[in-house]
Structure 1
Amino acid sequence: MVTARQQANEDMEVARSLEAEAEARRVALEERMAAAEERKLTLEEKKVAMEEHQHLVEEERRLFCIDTSNMDERQKDYINLARDEVSAKKRMMAD
């Protein structure tokens, strides 16, 4: 009778140990998955920032190639304001 009880206690101890190991593996897996998701989000943010920067570069290139010599003052002011806005956005992104 004592031997059966000792065996049952040992079996329960082994079961608890296995459950603890399984839980530790599950937690470690969740941590790895969270880290991978964080890296994915960081890469996505960088991609969006690069696309935004590229868009500003293209817009800047387009605006600075416009010939304003045949425009009236209102049109020139508009183009110059647009140029200033794009330049300010680029400076903000660089900081």
Structure 2
Amino acid sequence: MQTDCEYANPCLDCRFFITTGDFLQQQQHRRQRQETSELIVQAEQSGLARLAEKNRRTLGKLDTIISALEGATESQIVVGGQMEDVDAAG
């Protein structure tokens, strides 16, 4: 679907989006990254440049989240793409 919305996945762009290493261990973020990569390839092959562009932004957000979670300890979460200690986020 092509829309005027700037965000392919608004949740990942939300400053209140919170995630933990649990989602990384369950492969949810990596699975979404793989699906997003596939969407980009399909959009490019179909000539849907705008859709591919929006999903590249999502891919970048997922890369940031995955990278942050890979370096997180059990007492840290990712809030709006930034690492925070659980005590500080409360």
Structures share fold, TM-score greater than 0.5: no
Structure having the larger proportion of residues in strand: 2
Bigger relative contact order, structure 1 or 2, given CA contacts below 8 A and separation 6+? 2
Structure having the larger proportion of residues in helix: 1
